[in-house]
Amino acid sequence: MVEIKRSNVESLGAPLGQYSHMTRVKGASETLYIAGMLAPGEDFDTQCTGVFNCIEAALKSAGAGWASVAQLTTYLVHSQDIPKFMAWRLREFPRLFPDGKYPPNTLLIVDRLVQEQFLVEVQTIAAL
C-alpha cells in the first residue's frame, strides 16, 4: 500500500496558495509521469478545468486518483493569469483534494505553449 504524506515546513513559512512544500511517498512500486496536459477553450477557466479533467482521466486510466498525486508543475503563458489560477484552485482543489492537503506545485511563466491558443499546461507525477 502506498503511503503519501504531504507536509509543510514551518521554517519555510506558509505556502502562498493551495500546495504543500513536500510530498513523502513510502512503498510506491510505480511512479506515474503524466505529460503536460492542455485543453481547448475560449478563456483561462475553461482551459484550466479541461486540463484538470484530462489529468483526472489519465489518473483513472492507471487505476489512480487525486490522492495519488505527488507533484504538479504548472505552466502559464501570462503572469496576469496567476490570480485566475489561484482563484481556480481555491474553488476546485477542495473538491479534488478533500483532505485539504495539496501536492507541491511549481508554477512557471513561459513565453508560449505548443500552440498559441493554449494558456495553461499542467504536468503531473503520481505514486501508485
What type of residue is 106?
A: T
pTM over 0.75: yes
On whether the CB atoms of residues 18 and 107 are closer than 8 A, the answer is: no
Give the pLDDT confidence of 37-70 residue by residue, as tens digits.
999 999 999 999 999 999 999 999 999 999 999 9
- What does the alpha-carbon distance between residue 126 and residue 128 come to, in Å, rounded to a whole number? 7
Residue 36 φ then ψ, to 5°: -55, 125
Burial class (CB in 10 A: 0-12, 13-18, 19+), 48: buried
Its domain, for residue 55, covers 3-127
The DSSP bridge partners found for residue 29 are none
Q: For the domain that residue 81 is a member of, what is the CATH number?
A: 3.30.1330.40
How many domains in the chain? Answer: 1
